Amino acid sequence: MDLSMLGFGFGMASIFGFIVGVFSVWNGRMTRREISEYIKSGEERTAQHIKETQNLINEMHTRTQNLIKEMHTETQNLIKEMRLETQSHIREMRSETQSHIREMRSETQSHITEMRSETQSLIKEMHTHTQNLIKEMHKDTQNLIKETQKETQGVIIKEADEFRRLGKKMDDKLSRMETKIQT
């Protein structure tokens, strides 16, 4: 009777070992499948975030280019208006001074010189102002690009930390299961 009980005990232990082995293989496969799906979803989210960031950068670049074009057009129009005004003033002065050419020649020349210098200084001021605006817009665009890169790096680091944490959890579970199987 003792041997049959002992044989029965070994038989039950063998069946129990077989069941534990089958479920450990099944559990390992399911765990790998879950991790694979989680990694894929993380890659998709990262790719989506990168795409959104690139779209924002492109949009800011387009806006900057449009602003530069508008400023250039406005500057050109102002220069044209200033030229037309200057030319108009010169014509008026010429028509008024024709009757008094000999008397007012020196005065007319000084007015023309003043207008030219004012026009040139206005053009210089407009050019300087336009250059400063372009520099500011370039700095703003660069800062936006840097901020977007930092945000993207933060998301990637968070995702990597999450993957490491999940890997460690899996390693812990597998080692506990191996310990259980061995005992």
pTM score, whole prediction: 0.32
Q: How many residues does the chain have?
A: 183
The string of pLDDT tens digits covering residues 136-161 is 988 988 888 888 888 888 888 888 88
Choose among 53, 42, 54, 8: nearest CA to 167. Answer: 42
pLDDT score of 61: 92
Q: Greatest CA separation found in the chain?
A: 147
pLDDT score of 69: 93
Q: What is the CA radius of gyration of the chain?
A: 41
For 15, half-sphere exposure in the C-beta direction (CA atoms, 13 angstrom radius) is 6
Q: Hey, how many other C-beta atoms are within 10 angstroms of the C-beta on 27?
A: 13
| Ranges of each domain in the chain | 2-182
The string of pLDDT tens digits covering residues 71-117 is 999 999 999 988 988 888 888 877 776 777 767 667 767 888 888 88
To the nearest whole percent, how much of the chain has pLDDT over 70?
Answer: 94
Type of residue at 67: L
Q: Is the dihedral of CA 22, 28, 33, 38 positive or negative?
A: positive
First vs last C-alpha separation in the chain: 27
pLDDT score of 54: 92
Evaluate if residue 1 carries a pLDDT over 60.
no
